[in-house]
Amino acid sequence: MIEIDAETDDELPILPRELTNVPDEVCRVGPPQIPVIEEPYGARLVDPDVHAELISEWMNMPHLVESWESAWPPERWRLYLKAQLAGTFSRPYLTSRKGEDIGYIELYRAAKDSIATRYDAHPHDLGIHAAIADTKLVNRGIAPRMLPKLMRDLFDLEPECRRIMFDPDHRNTGARRLVEYVGCTFLGEHQMSNRKMALYVFPRTPEDIPAHR
C-alpha cells in the first residue's frame, strides 16, 4: 500500500506516491476532511507523537505485514504521519467501534496520487487505504458494514467528490472481494513502478465511472 524503497529515513521521500507535477486545479484542492462515520463507528485524526507507537505495533502484526508492507519502527511511522499532516495529499485516521480503536485508514487525493496516471482523475476524487488491526474483528464482517458508512459520509462531506478509489495489490484477494462486495467497479490491473495494482472505483453516480488508461 505504501511504497518506500530507500534504506534510511534521511534518504527516502516520505510520501513517495504523491505526484509533484499536477495542474493548478488539482494543487488547489485541500486535504481530505475528517469523516464522521455513523455509529457505532468513528474516526479521528492521528496525533503522530501519541499514536505512532500504536500504529507501528499494528503494522507489525502478521495479518498486516504482507498487505501494507509497512512494518516500520515507531520513529519512522512518526515521521511518515507528520509528513501527511504537513501537506494536502493525504490524512491519517484512527478508526473506532463502540469507542475502542480498531484500525487505521488513510484518505488521499487520488488526483495527486500515482494512480491518477491510470485513470481519468477528477481533482476532488478521494482514495482509501484501510486496515483493521483488532484481530478479533478480522473476517467478522466489520469492514463490509463500516466501509459503506464511511463512503456515504465522505460524499456528504465533500459535494464535489465524484468518486472514491481503491488500489489493492492484484494478489490481495480479501481486499478485492471487499470492494467488489460493496459495489465498486473494476478498472483493470495496472503495473506500477514496484507492484501491480487492481484499480476500483465507487462513483457518486453511474455517470461518474471514469475511463481507465
Residue 18 in any domain: the answer is no
Residue 163 in any domain: the answer is yes
Residue 17 in any domain: the answer is no
Distances, alpha carbon 121 to alpha carbons 93, 124, 186, 207, in Å: 24, 8, 15, 14
d(C-alpha 48, C-alpha 80), whole Å? 8
By the 8 A CB rule, do 46 and 92 touch?
Answer: yes
pLDDT at 135: 74
Residue 83 in any domain: the answer is yes
Domain that holds residue 75: 35-208
Q: Which of 212, 74, 41 is nearest to 142 (CA)?
A: 41
pLDDT at 140: 67
The model's pTM is 0.90
Residue 93: CATH number of its domain: 3.40.630.30
Residue 56 in any domain: the answer is yes
Residue 7 in any domain: the answer is no
Mean pLDDT by 10 residues, the chain (213 residues): 41 75 96 90 95 97 89 94 94 93 96 96 97 77 85 95 96 93 96 93 94 74
Cell of 133: 488491526
Based on the structure, what is the number of domains in the chain?
Answer: 1
Is 167 one of the catalytic residues?
Answer: yes
Residue 16 in any domain: the answer is no
Which long-range CB contacts under 8 A does 64-67 form with residues at least 24 apart? 64/131, 64/133, 67/1, 67/131, 67/168, 67/169, 67/172, 67/174, 67/175
pLDDT at 5: 39
Residue 21 in any domain: the answer is no
Cell of 75: 520513529
Catalytic residue among 113, 125, 167, 169: 167
d(C-alpha 152, C-alpha 60), whole Å? 30
